[in-house]
Chains A and B, each alone.
With several copies, the nearest count.
Chain A
Amino acid sequence: MTTTTERKLTTQKAIAEGIATEMAEDDSVFVMGEDVGTYGGIFGATEGLLDKFGPERIMDTPISETGFIGAAVGAAINGMRPIVELMFVDFFGVCMDQIYNNMAKIHYFSGGNVKVPMVLTTAVGGGYSDAGQHSQTLWGMFAHLPGMKVVVPSNPYDAKGLMIAAIRDDNPVVYMFHKGVLGLGWMTNNPRATGAVPEGPYEVPIGKAAVAREGTDLTIVTIGLSVHKALDAAEDLEKTGISAEVLDLRSLVPLDREAIVASVEKTHRLLVVDEDYQSFGMSGEVITTAVQGAFDYLDAPPMRLATPDIPIPYSHPLETWALPSVERITEAASTLLVAG
């Protein structure tokens, strides 16, 4: 990725800047959610916005997700472009009807006459012992249900560009930020959580994967925080002479199937790393895409390393064991290299 400036931001600040950029341009953009005002968002995604835009456009809400996400839908179909925050994706269960049955389907039901331009932001991911109701990613589930785009930035540059693209999109976009890539002061962070971000507006197109690292021996397809784990694993693998390509999907809907197939055609081996639950989700979809698009190129059955089908456990050793790790990725990649 070429950057036009050396100014560096954390992913969290890049998200807030993306929102601010569009709010300054477009009066119809506003933000709603729990603790998005004075607090600036529990994960800082709306930091500084209340001061810039005031309480009419940065609105703290009661703990009424069905109410305020549904209200965002109503505002969107009446000419606004709301950004609405679901504090943790894990809370989707109290408000999913408004998301999947209403926000995501009105455009279709109306035969294209009614647009629902809104962004649903939400924090995803585990790794810090927040247990089973605050650590999920659930992107496979959102991607399974039609009518909403689903984006998951892994770095500051993409975070700002995808946010701007999401706000400008005429469709509902679910924007999932992984807590582990935000560069928060109070969490262990990958060094890549801070990076160069241009000052002005720019878009990262929704639906295009990025080759986060080129390689020739196998392809690791992943998303979110696991991109960084895969990159770290790729560095380790390089030491043993294995050249891993890392594909950062960046969005699940639309899914960049061409990029998956192209990479597998090149490397002949596929490992999918997914922090979401293993079964009936992203890992199966990516493998199916590769198998159907590059069957004759595969030298070994594709592998996957995902969170097993268990609630995310609280205790540190349990959670660490359950979530994908650099070591496990390295191990899986090494196994894959000799398989087939």
Chain B
Amino acid sequence: MDIPKDHLVDMYETMVKIRRFEERIRELYFADKLPAFDIAAGLIPGEMHLAAGQEPVAVGMRPHLKAGDAITATHRPHHVAIAQGVDLNKMAAEIFGRETGLGRGKGGHMHLFSVEPNFGCSGIIGEGMPVAVGAAMAFRHKGTDNVALSYFGEGAANQGAFHESLNLASLWKLPVVFICEDNAYAISVPKAASTAIPDNSDRASAYGIPGVLVGENDPVAVYEVMGEAIARARRGDGPSLVEIKTDRLWGHFEGDADAYRSEEFKTEMNERDPIIVYGNRLLAEGVLNEADMASIQQAMHDDVEAAIEFAMASPYPAPESALEDVFAGRSVQL
């Protein structure tokens, strides 16, 4: 496939931005929790699920999106949100629990909602899958050619919502692309201990839809497969299921001792870090040179830094504002 250069570069830039964002979150997450780790303490309390290593899964669809396309993501949402172009300042502010955040500090890192771009995520496994089906219904009703993308982990593929969503989307021939991020683990449980067959993409036949396996953690491979799946959905030919083999480089959540994965496994995994591999390829193919890469690095770091600064400079919400936003138009009465 002949991929426009700006797409190749855009994907690389976005990968770098994602990684940088998560590195910074990670630093700040631990900054004031050590030496005695306390999940409730610090600048960023609570659970933190980072997606380092899974960037290809997120950026591969990016060049194919258009305004209004909907995405539902998971408890591990940052890479996808950034790839879709969710406002980085507001996203950072939400993670830091600030009034200027996407949800005024009410949602937090697992509950990022944006109207433009059309993004949502959730803390419950499989919860976003039916929502994507519904977004696609709305597009059909309104007569647009928008599509809905639903991200989920390989662990989620054994949740009932997976089955119901794929059946509905196929039955009604809706413009949805289901994207399984197969990082081989659901917390500590390896895929072989959770899934009766090796590849979830083979489950597509249970719904009469195309199932495609992307065997490499490579943005270009993802780009190609997602291009076809999104185009198919956009032209009204119905949903697809795409499974992408990827790597979660860090623990399930920050603070996870990650003792369930062997040291060899982790070493091997880190050696195939997709940003390094893809960057080397772009260098080798002459798409970028060392100087380009350095300036991308700088630009992305700057974007991230600006967002983090915005967030940290933003005020916390007033405590009593906890009572607002339960219902549109009124506060809860105490």
A and B touch in the complex (CB under 8 A): yes
Q: Determine which of A114, A170, A310 lies in contact with B329 in the assembled complex, contact meaning CB atoms within 8 Å.
A: A170
In Å, the complex CA distance between A238 and B92 comes to 44
Q: Which residues of A lie under 8 Å from residue B47 when comparing CB positions? A: 130, 134
Q: Which residues of A lie under 8 Å from residue B334 when comparing CB positions? A: 308
In Å, the complex CA distance between A27 and B195 comes to 28
Residues of chain A in range 290-340 having any CB-CB distance to chain B below 8 Å? 308-311, 313-322
What is the interface residue range for chain B against chain A? 35 or more
In Å, the complex CA distance between A171 and B160 comes to 27
Nearest-neighbour CB distance to chain A for B207, whole angstroms, equals: 12
Q: Which residues of A lie under 8 Å from residue B260 when comparing CB positions? A: 38-39
Interface majority SS on B: helix, strand, loop or mixed?
loop
B274 at the interface (CB under 8 A from A): no
In Å, the complex CA distance between A30 and B194 comes to 19
Nearest-neighbour CB distance to chain B for A67, whole angstroms, equals: 3
Q: Which residues of A lie under 8 Å from residue B105 when comparing CB positions? A: 111, 313-315, 318
Q: Please state if A102 and B326 are interface contacts (CB–CB under 8 Å).
A: no
Q: Please state if B142 and A79 are interface contacts (CB–CB under 8 Å).
A: yes
Nearest-neighbour CB distance to chain B for A13, whole angstroms, equals: 17
A205 at the interface (CB under 8 A from B): no
1/0 per residue B115-158: CB within 8 Å of A? 10010101111110111111111110110000010000001101
Nearest-neighbour CB distance to chain B for A261, whole angstroms, equals: 13
**Surface stretch bound by A, among B17-25, B183-191, B293-301:** B183-191
Nearest-neighbour CB distance to chain A for B256, whole angstroms, equals: 9
Q: Determine which of B111, B155, B255 lies in contact with A62 in the assembled complex, contact meaning CB atoms within 8 Å.
A: B155
Nearest B residue to A27 via CB reads: B141
**Given A129-B45, A186-B255, A60 and B193 contact (CB-CB distance below 8 Å):** yes
Q: Determine which of B37, B107, B329 lies in contact with A109 in the assembled complex, contact meaning CB atoms within 8 Å.
A: B107
Q: Please state if A78 and B159 are interface contacts (CB–CB under 8 Å).
A: no
Q: Please state if B159 and A128 are interface contacts (CB–CB under 8 Å).
A: no
Nearest-neighbour CB distance to chain B for A258, whole angstroms, equals: 11
A68 at the interface (CB under 8 A from B): yes
Nearest-neighbour CB distance to chain B for A138, whole angstroms, equals: 14
In Å, the complex CA distance between A112 and B141 comes to 25
In Å, the complex CA distance between A162 and B321 comes to 29
B102 at the interface (CB under 8 A from A): yes
Residues of chain A in range 23-45 having any CB-CB distance to chain B below 8 Å? 27-28, 30, 34-35, 37-39, 42
Q: Please state if B124 and A97 are interface contacts (CB–CB under 8 Å).
A: yes
A1 at the interface (CB under 8 A from B): no
**Given A94-B126, A112-B328, A188 and B106 contact (CB-CB distance below 8 Å):** no
Nearest-neighbour CB distance to chain B for A131, whole angstroms, equals: 4
Q: Please state if B194 and A115 are interface contacts (CB–CB under 8 Å).
A: no
Nearest-neighbour CB distance to chain A for B263, whole angstroms, equals: 15
List the count of A-B residue pairs having beta carbons below 8 Å apart.
294
B327 at the interface (CB under 8 A from A): yes
B62 at the interface (CB under 8 A from A): no
1/0 per residue A52-96: CB within 8 Å of B? 000010001111111111111111111110100000001101100
A153 at the interface (CB under 8 A from B): no
Q: Please state if A101 and B326 are interface contacts (CB–CB under 8 Å).
A: no
- On chain A, the number of residues with a Cβ less than 8 Å from chain B's Cβ atoms is 82
In Å, the complex CA distance between A140 and B325 comes to 22
Nearest B residue to A172 via CB reads: B327
Q: Which residues of A lie under 8 Å from residue B165 when comparing CB positions? A: 67, 70-71
Q: Please state if A78 and B97 are interface contacts (CB–CB under 8 Å).
A: no
In Å, the complex CA distance between A288 and B142 comes to 47
Q: Which residues of A lie under 8 Å from residue B101 when comparing CB positions? A: 111, 315
Q: Determine which of B108, B167, B326 lies in contact with A67 in the assembled complex, contact meaning CB atoms within 8 Å.
A: B167
Nearest-neighbour CB distance to chain B for A81, whole angstroms, equals: 10
Q: Which residues of A lie under 8 Å from residue B148 when comparing CB positions? A: 74
B309 at the interface (CB under 8 A from A): no
Q: Which residues of A lie under 8 Å from residue B164 when comparing CB positions? A: 62, 64, 66-68
A240 at the interface (CB under 8 A from B): no
Q: Please state if B332 and A146 are interface contacts (CB–CB under 8 Å).
A: yes
Interface residues of A (CB under 8 A from B): 27-28, 30, 34-35, 37-39, 42, 56, 60-80, 82, 90-91, 93-94, 97-98, 101-102, 105-115, 127-134, 146-147, 149, 170-171, 185-188, 308-311, 313-322
Query: Could you jot down 29 A-B contacts, CB within 8 Å?
Result: A34-B189, A38-B259, A64-B167, A64-B168, A67-B158, A70-B165, A71-B165, A73-B134, A74-B132, A74-B148, A78-B118, A79-B138, A91-B125, A94-B160, A101-B124, A102-B124, A105-B111, A108-B103, A108-B106, A110-B325, A113-B102, A310-B332, A314-B109, A315-B105, A315-B316, A316-B45, A316-B316, A318-B321, A321-B322
Query: What are the 10 tightest A-B residue pairs by CB atom distance, in nearest-first order?
Result: A74-B134, A70-B130, A314-B108, A67-B164, A111-B104, A315-B97, A315-B105, A129-B46, A321-B319, A71-B134
